[in-house]
Structure formats: structure tokens, C-alpha cells
Structure 1
């Protein structure tokens, strides 16, 4: 992180004093709180203010910091907590749970406790139909990967395959998923040994073009759930009485 910039907590406090001086509760979250900030990191600031009618997000620059502001009232905060958790990516609950309270209108600790409760509960279970559908789409991606002959196309298929595979592993184990850099972080929180194999398999493909490690990895993940799925899979088909039996 650049030493020329103002300290993140000081910048966040000044930003709050200038822009949210009323009855808001404000928290600073993100990488600067976790001690993972880089030269390109921003300040993630969550504002909860009952005067706000609708939730909104705003990006701006102040004190040489890029700042992402997430503004809510209590009702929209909980709605976003729930929707984030339903999709398995608890971005806002994590931001609030990890956040440092820099302005408290009396409910800061309560908001943090609520966020922590959502995180501890984990994402909803995938039912058998969802697992079957995800097996099919993962199989489809793997088939595209195996059959692709063009290097450029194969690179991007591999990226989609990695994202789908990480989601399948984590959601079938009732764990939170991630996106971008959070894919590896989410996997590491679940199983560091598996994560090392996951990263090494895709890295080996990108370096050498050899697909076998990735193929073996995907097959090992699918095997406990019945392996690859194509034959007999359908979506939306109405079954007659005989088929239902």
C-alpha cells in the first residue's frame, strides 16, 4: 500500500464527517481492515441510515483513496444480507461482520452481530435437483474443455470450468463461494490441501497445455455425486404417470 496516502481509518473518518454527519452508523470494511490492502485497494464503507429511502452504491475518490460506499437503511441492509446469502456469496454480511465501526448511532454492534449470525449459518443446502443440474453443466463444461482444439478458446473454457468447479465443491459442502480473487480464498477456508491441488492443476494446464490434471480433478469432485451427467438429463420436461413411476 502506498505510504503517500492518508491512513485508511483516518481517511474513512474524515469522509464520514464530511458526508454522513447525521444519524448514520458507518463501518469500514474490506481488505484494509483484514490487513490485505495493496496499492490498488479501495475503502469499503457501509452506511446505515434510517433517513435513506432506498439502498444505493457509489464510487468516488477522496484523500487519494478510491472509495466504495454502500448506503442502506436497516430494512434494506437485512434484505441484502439475505439475498447475498441465498446466492452463496455473503459480500455485505462479511463486510459488516469484519468492519470497524467508525461512527455509531447506537446499533453498530447489533448490525455486526446480525451479519455474523448470517455468516455462521452458512448458505442454503443444494437439493438433489440442484446438484443434478450443476453436475450436468459441469460435465458440459468439462466436455467443451476436453474437446477444444483452439488454445484461445480453451483458456477461457478453463476459466469458466474453474469457477463452476469451485462453486460445486463449496456449495455441496454448504460453504460460501467467491468470485475473482475470492475463489481461492473461499476454497482455502474450506480445504487448503484441495485448494493447492485445484490451483496447481489449472496452473499446470495454463503453462503446458496439458489438460489431464484438470480433467482428473473435475472427475474426482463429481465421482461422489454420481460422476459426469449427460444421458437422461432434462430441464422442464413434464413427466407422464408412467415416467414418474
Structure 2
């Protein structure tokens, strides 16, 4: 299937006032699977009726599922800045890394600006870094004390996610959700990713706790008494 052609038809029918349209995700990268949808970023001054500035919606069209992220220029700037502040700029990556199939004279300027922002990496404040280390310290102690199988499974998942995020952020790397967290972690360091994920996957609780402790020390160590949040 020509996914660009079906996307163009979808935009013409459902979002005809979009002046920028970018295909992102697995369709843009060329690594679609049987269940892949088409991620589509749309920007346009007159994209919505009324005062709306953004919409995230899912559509069925032409035998495909479209995940649409649609914004006015002001709405895109607002949500892009939120993503930057949260260290997970999904729509910024869509804009910069995706394939443009509809563009106006602002696209190059937008891509240049947000590419520079991405290149700077996330800014982790001292207060946030301390709080992230505090959370990991607290959950790690609970994990080491846990005996219930379900509690262990839940706590290990929380620890993996929080530790991976800390590893990325202290290295000046953007974080990700779902499948993107391990992908970004492996891009940071395949060896450190394997050291953390190996015992996590194997259910080796003692070894996993030690790997978390190692990464906590690398980031500055445990945080408990005296922490104000």
C-alpha cells in the first residue's frame, strides 16, 4: 500500500485546512508491523472551528488507522513546550524526524528551531534530580523488603522505568514511554541497558536491586533524610 497516498486522501477529506502534514512513527521509518497505525502531525491556522487549538484523535480511513495530532501554530508551540518541560517531546520528534507530505513556508523555520531545542537535550534541575533519586531510593527499599510476588513484579517495573529515566536524564538524553524507553536506553549505552534489563527480565531480584543501586550511585547516591518535596 502507498501509505503517503492514503494519508493525503485522509487529510483532504478530514483535515483539509492543514497547511503542514508530517507522517511520523514506523511508517516514516519504514519499519511498520502488522498492527502499525499511521502517526500524523497536522498544523494549520484554520484547522479547527471555534477556539480549539489542539486535538489528538484516532480515525479509520482507507483500511488504515490514523493517530492524529492536530494543532494550530499556537497550539503546537504550547504542547511542544510542555513536552520539552516533561523531557518527552513526542510531537517535536514527529515534526523534526517525520516525512512532510504537505508544507507551507513555515515548516523549515519550525524544524530548524525545534531541531536546535532537541539537540540541547533536557534540562534536569537540581531539585528534580534529587526528587527522582528520592523516589528510586524509596521504591528500592520497598522492593528489597517485598515478599509478595505481585508486589515484587509491580515494584520492579516501577524501578526499571524510574531508573532508566534517571540514567537518560543525567546523561542529557530525552526520555520515552512504552517501547521508546528501552530503545532510548540502549541508544545511550547497550552495556548499561543490558546490565539493568538482564536481571529485570530474568526476575533475579537481588541482582536487579544491585544494578539499580549502581545507577543510583552513578547519579549521586541515595536520597532520604532531609529531602523536602
TM value normalised by structure 2 = 0.91
Structure 2: stretches of 5+ with no match in the other structure: none
Instruction: For residue 36 of structure 1, give the secondary structure of its aligned residue in structure 2.
Output: coil
The verdict on how the C-alpha distance between 1:139 and 1:47 changes in structure 2, with shifts beyond 3 A counting, is same
Counterpart in 2 of 1:41? 36
Asked if the contact 2:166/2:219 (under 8 Å) is kept, the reply is no
Instruction: List aligned pairs for 1:114-193, cutoff 5 A.
Output: 114-127=113-126, 129-193=127-191
Structure 1 distance, partners of 2:34, 2:189, is 29
Q: How far apart are 1:28 and its partner, in Å?
A: 0.8
Partner of 2:215: 221
Is the contact made by 2:18 and 2:42 (CA closer than 8 Å) also made in structure 1?
no
Give RMSD over aligned pairs: 1.6
Deviation at 1:150, TM superposition (A): 0.8
Q: Which residue of 2 aligns with 1:3?
A: none
Question: What does residue range 194-209 of structure 1 map to in structure 2 within 5 Å?
Answer: 194-205=192-203
CA–CA distance in 2 between the matches of 1:213 and 1:23? 52
Unaligned ranges ≥5, structure 1? 1-5, 236-245
Say how many residue pairs are matched: 225
Inter-partner Cα distance in structure 2 for 1:215 and 1:67: 40
- Confirm or deny that 1:7 pairs with 2:2: yes
TM-score (norm 1): 0.86
2:24 and 2:41 in contact (8 A); partners too: yes
Query: Greater CA radius of gyration, 1 or 2?
Result: 1
| CA offset digits 1:184-223 (Å, max 9, x no partner) | 1111221121112222121121xxxx31221111111111
Partners of 2:228 and 2:139 in 1: CA distance = 17
